[in-house]
Amino acid sequence: MLLNSILLQAQTGGAANPAGTGWESFIMIIVLIAIFYFFMIRPQSKKQKQIKKFREGLSVGDKVITAGGIYGKIRDIKETTFLLEISDNVKIRIDKNSVYPSAEDAQTDAAAADKK
């Protein structure tokens, strides 16, 4: 804050210029909002779209990881849930929104994308 005051005083020669500082502040706020959008909001929305696309493309037999870190294979798909087999004869029902691709699948997808 002190540096901003010093720079503003240096620009105006020490005299107060209320008309000029209003526009400068407004432009700086717009620039900060644009930076925030391009570095924070936009990448997050792209990632959410990728996860949604992944979840819609899941089928029986796919390997997944739950949000809690449980690895398993999908055995049944309902409207909002999956039946996940985590071991021989051990099945759990989980919500579709708590499923992510397995680490192996994510690595193979990334390698395939790099080759293209």
CA 74 – CA 33 distance, rounded (Å): 42
pTM: 0.55
Q: Tell me the domain boundaries of the chain.
A: 22-57, 58-116
Task: Give the model's pLDDT for residue 90.
Answer: 94
Average of per-residue pLDDT across 96-114: 70
The yes or no reply on domain 58-116 and CATH 2.30.30.140 is: yes
Task: Give the model's pLDDT for residue 14.
Answer: 45
| pLDDT tens digits, 20-75 | 567 888 899 999 999 988 898 898 999 889 888 888 888 898 888 888 889 899 99
Collapsed DSSP state (helix, strand, coil) of residue 103:
helix
Average of per-residue pLDDT across 11-20: 51
